[in-house]
Amino acid sequence: MRIIFLSCLLIGLILLSPIHGLAKPSVSAINAVLINESTGEVLFEKNAHEKEKIASITKIMTAIIAIESGKMNETVTASKRAVYTEGSSIYLEQGEKMKLKDLVYGLMLRSGNDAAVAISEYVGGSVEGFVYLMNKKARWIGMTNTHFENPSGLDGEAHYSTAYDMALLMQYAMDNKVFEKITKTEMYKSESREYAWKNKNKLLTTYYEYCTGGKTGYTKAAGRTLVSTATKNGVDLIAVTLQDPDDWVDHINLYEWGFKNADQPTMAQPQHSNDFLEGFGNIYRQIIGLDVNG
């Protein structure tokens, strides 16, 4: 009878204990992570450390290096290489002159690959020189599973990162006030353009009122990639998804889950519950004659 009573008591404590926590959100992404921007704590992850193609979220690194160069008010002349870069574009013309600041806005809001090349040639001396800076910066930030091959995010055999590494990059970039201002801008008009650029990040412009910035990405090989940030009730979160056909919805679900549980001591299994149940289990095994160290 004593064994039956103790068994029932143990089962009851497990059921009542917070060890089970709160149900985590389901995401369509192959790779995903949600972190606290202030602390870096990982709140949710799914294959977050697997190396994958990342498409245009690469441009977060391109932008922060350009901003930190201190040359934002200097004028850049678009080269033939920049103008003829494939993919998304802000439609630079060869020989066109534009401030580096405007190029960074075009890079982040419209994902201009031509802007990425123009920036890299000016700041790094060449595309190759700039890529060297990108990889050096990645190592400095702690992006241990990342390697850049170009400043735009076009697919390459040696161009990859992870959801977690990209979250680290965004955390670092958001600490820069200029970057923070650019990434949360919904519309921007360059001095050399007759029309304004609208941000492609629909979380920011349309879908989610708490979104404070981010960067979209897509190539056929990489699929849809997205880095975003959101703030609610003084809590700042960063979400990253790779290979995600439903990224807008997934980011909203991650944020709503994260903000709802932000007042929890941790979203992982509470350590005190582990300690209590382990201790109870040891007592239980001793009572019924089991070897605790077995």
Residue 135: is it exposed, middle or buried by C-beta count within 10 angstroms (0-12/13-18/19+)? middle
**Residues 214, 109: contact at Cβ < 8 Å?**
no
Report which of residues 277 and 236 the model is more confident about.
Answer: 236
Reported CATH class of domain 22-268: alpha beta
Average pLDDT on 167-177 reads: 98
pLDDT tens for each residue of 125-147: 999 999 999 999 999 999 999 99
pLDDT of residue 264: 56
Which residue is it, tokens 């004028």? 75
Average pLDDT on 280-292 reads: 39
Would you kindly state where each structural domain of the chain is located, as residue ranges? 1-21+269-294, 22-268
pLDDT tens for each residue of 227-276: 999 999 999 999 999 999 999 999 999 999 999 987 654 444 333 334 43
pLDDT of residue 52: 98
List residues with catalytic annotation. 56, 59, 111
| 136 annotated ligand-binding residue | no
**Residues 214, 45: contact at Cβ < 8 Å?**
no
pLDDT of residue 152: 98
In the three-class reduction of DSSP (H, G, I as helix; E, B as strand; rest coil), residue 281 is classed as: helix
Angstrom CA distances, 53 to 45, 145, 226, stand at: 18, 12, 12
Which residue is it, tokens 């870096």? 40
Percent of the chain with pLDDT over 90: 80
pLDDT tens for each residue of 3-26: 444 444 444 443 444 334 568 899
Average pLDDT on 53-65 reads: 98
